[in-house]
Structure 1
Amino acid sequence: MVSRFILAISTSSGVAKVAAATEPLELNAHAADLFNFEITDYKSQSAQLLPMIQQHLEQANLKPAQCAAIAVDIGPGGFTSLRTACGVAQGLAVAWQVPTVPLTSFECMLTAQLPDKPVTVLMDARLNEIYAACIQRTAQGTQWVKPPHLLALDELQNIHGSAVCDAHVYAQLHEPGSVAVQGAVCAVRLAQLAWQEFEAGRVATPFDCQPLYVRDKVAQTTTERLALKHGAV
């Protein structure tokens, strides 16, 4: 019988991904996946997310009283998508009176099989840019060797060492293989990492769970668009 579970919510990739994982039975063991699902229709995510969470909880015979925490992927990612995930996580955490475990999209890209050393994580940021960070998971949590930042797409050639890339970035590499592997944001992995954070006491209040925006600005003003059109700088 399930004693406690963590509910994990990720929408940073444009696909809503949700998973629930039970408490690990042994130290350093991975949490067992209870259920996971995706909502690929971007336009209906905000409307479908809560009803589908409720549906899967009922099918798995899980009660809110068994929830230890709500884990959420805070980004980087799409502006509206991140707000949806954080808003749902905050609402459930307040209603169920549990803490949140905010983790980044970079951490959700890490697989359990990666080597115990710093890894560069690269994700498509559109506009010919890449979200990048160099991280390492330790018993103390995530160590940020290089914090989240933006790279121009043509700077991919300067990436050295172990790397995990989403599908779009991986396709841009000239020589993928030995040092770069393809990955994806994973809600199950988010839930597993969240258990590690929860058991170490690294949790947040619901309203401390806020989106991570690496890019400060994604749109041009009317004046800026006109200036570019007419060749002004």
Structure 2
Amino acid sequence: MASRFILAISTSSGVAKVVATTEPHGSDSLGAGLFGFEIVDYKSQSAQLLPMIRQHLEQSGAQPAQCAAIAVDIGPGGFTSLRTACGIAQGLAVAWQVPAVPLTSFECMLPEQYSDQSFTLLIDARLNEIYTARIRRTSKGTEWLDPPHLLAMDEFQNIQGPAVCDANLYAQRANPGKGIEPGVVCATRLAQLAWQEFAAGRVVAPFDCQPLYVRDKVAQTTTERLALKHGVI
């Protein structure tokens, strides 16, 4: 029988990242990679994602019938990019009659070696703010010690390790300090965690896979931008 695979889609970082991996066995924590690709151009992601997934499926010889689940990074991240990823994940899951596995960008950024350890995750949210959460990854899934929330950028220097932050934030910290490490939202990590979730039965129906928006507002109004520019707010 042909190997099953999970298709993992992540767009929260602004770069669309797609990976397909087969089911892991034994000591192999990930399984074999069928294919992977990235779309850097933000504006073309919604138009290119589906055609490129189809192209890579054909080139790899993988069939939709072999798909076990669709994994998607639900954020937090860019408003439009999250909607694109979740919409494509929902559509494929319905068409292929498979469940969805939603995971957050925080989980996708925590390296495997830090499983069973409590870590603060920090992601640049723009607008002078940071998305942050504190989690521990265990055999029972993700334990949320501090749920996703916003942090003012000027509080970043007060963060103490152990913590993982995205490269943009890491570059902004004058003195990273002990226990503060750079990280990246990773589609391969998304696929790895998705297999763990799938094996444990922690899956959802396609339309239960929704973007995680931590911020109530995704952009400033023209009035707010002008006021900020002139020091009013």
| TM-score bracket for the superposition, by shorter chain length | over 0.9
Structure 2 alignment gaps of length 5 or more: none
**What are the equivalent positions in structure 2 for 1:207-218 lying under 5 Å apart?**
207-218=207-218
> Which AA in structure 1 matches 2:109?
M
How far the C-alpha of 1:181 sits from its partner, in A, is 1.2
> Which AA in structure 1 matches 2:88?
V
| Aligned counterpart, 1:10 | 10
CA displacement, residues 6-64 of structure 1 (integer Å, 9 cap, x when unaligned): 00000111110000011011267333322111000111111110011011111111000
Identical pairs, percent: 75
Whether the 8 Å contact between 1:2 and 1:22 is mirrored in structure 2 is no
Whether the 8 Å contact between 1:31 and 1:191 is mirrored in structure 2 is no
**What are the equivalent positions in structure 2 for 1:137-216 lying under 5 Å apart?**
137-176=137-176, 178-216=178-216
Q: For 2:196, what is the secondary structure of its paired residue?
A: helix
TM-score (norm 1): 0.93
Q: Distance in 1 between matches of 2:173 and 2:109?
A: 18
Q: For 1:154, what is the secondary structure of its paired residue?
A: helix
1:125 lines up with 2:125 in the alignment: yes
| Aligned counterpart, 1:84 | 84
Give the count of matched residue pairs.
233
What is the alpha-carbon root mean square deviation over aligned residues?
2.0
Whether the 8 Å contact between 2:29 and 2:192 is mirrored in structure 1 is no
| Aligned counterpart, 2:112 | 112
| Aligned counterpart, 2:36 | 36
TM-score (norm 2): 0.93
Q: For 2:113, what is the secondary structure of its paired residue?
A: coil
Question: Residues 231, 135 of structure 1: CA spacing in aligned structure 2 closer, same or farther, 3 A cutoff?
Answer: closer
